[in-house]
Structures are given as C-alpha cells and as structure tokens.
Structure 1
Amino acid sequence: MDLFFSRRETDREVVITHKPWFHFLLIAAIAVWGIAGTQPEESVLRGWAGLLWFVTIAVMVWRAVSMRKVWREMNVAMKAGGVSMRGSRFNPLDPLTVRIAKAPD
C-alpha cells in the first residue's frame, strides 16, 4: 500500500498491517535531540538533530494522511459489517492488523 501499511488481499478478506518502522525513527530523533542538547552551540550534531526533527515531522504528517486512507476504508467496511482489529497502532512490538471481510459476490 505504502511505506506505513502493507496490504494483502485474498478472495475472502483484505488484511492491512501497520509497519512499525516509524516508531524507531521517532525514538532515534528523541535520542539524538537529547544528546545534541548537551553539545555546544557550534556542534555539527545540533544541525543534524534539527534536520532529523524536520524529517521526522514531515514523516508524521505523511503517516497521518496515510492512516486517514486506511480509516476511511475501514469505516466503509464497518458499515457493512465484517471488520476485526488486533494490536495497537502505537506499539511497535504489536502492530495494528485490520482484517476486512469482503462481501460475497
């Protein structure tokens, strides 16, 4: 589907799984920012930390748009019945998995 979700279709259902790599980028950005805060003003690390935060915020916006597409598809399926979810969209160790049953033809 895109960088944040994988989509697998069978004849009976659509399975959408959240890819948790973004959480590790966010953790790295926080760690680098924390380390850079202890460095002098002219440190190169401070510049890289700022760039990493800019990239992280851009990815957060991109992820929100991507998540909106998935929720829209889920809402349509929920009205018809046949959606099951497992996991968490915030916990990278237990990523969100959504199963959407297809309507019989």
Structure 2
Amino acid sequence: MKFFYERIETPEDVKIVLKPNSLYIMLLMLAIWLINDFVLQSVPLSQIIMPVFIVFMIVRFFSVVKIQKEVLVAMKQGNVETSGSKFSASNPLTYKISKI
C-alpha cells in the first residue's frame, strides 16, 4: 500500500521506505481518545473512535507484515542497510536490500 510504505525495485537492490503518516494518524487518534476520556467523557464519541483506531491498526499491521518479513530475511543474510527515522517525515525509515 502506497500509504504505509513505498517499495522501489531496481536490478541491483530493493528500496523500502516506511512512511510515518500512519504513525502520526495513530498518535492523533490516541490523543483524541485520551482527551475524550479525561476531559469530555463522551461515550458516543468513544464508541466511534476506538473501533476506528483498532481497525486502522489491524489494516496497518497486515499491510506492513509482508515487508517486515522481507526485511527480516534480508537481515539474516546481512544484505540490509538502514537509514532514516521512524518518526521523521523528511527522512523516513528506509531499508536498502541488495540483491548481489
């Protein structure tokens, strides 16, 4: 899924960029839920936020699990270079897996 990651394959390597957008959205939903729980105490709002949050986390997990398996296999072979940060939009977490 282009929203969660970007996979660019060349003859020499595979470049996987994990985008931080989903983490920002999860943190925002968590903040809204906490504000609702401690300040507003609105049950109807809470009944909407939590299922959406849970579904979003499940969709993200199953979207990224294939990529994570690929990265773990490459790590065991020692073919991975990692750069960037998980929370940085300007320098996102990037895996470079060499095919050689």
Size of the aligned set, in residue pairs, is 98
Measured on the aligned residues, the alpha-carbon RMSD in Å equals 2.3
Q: How does the TM-score come out when normalised to structure 2?
A: 0.75
* Alignment-derived partner of residue 97 in structure 1: 94
Deviations 1:45-81 (A, max 9, x none): x423432221121121222223321121123323443
* Alignment-derived partner of residue 23 in structure 1: 23
* Percent of residue pairs bearing the same amino acid type: 33
Gaps of 5+ in 1: none
Taking a change above 3 Å as real, the CA distance of residues 102 and 28 of structure 1, as seen in their structure-2 partners, is same
Cα offset for 1:2?
A: 4.2
Structure showing greater radius of gyration is 1
Gaps of 5+ in 2: none
- Which one has a larger percent helix, Structure 1 or Structure 2? 2
| Mapped partners of 2:3, 2:19: distance in 1 | 7
8 A Cα contact 1:83 1:100, kept in partner: yes
Q: How does the TM-score come out when normalised to structure 1?
A: 0.72
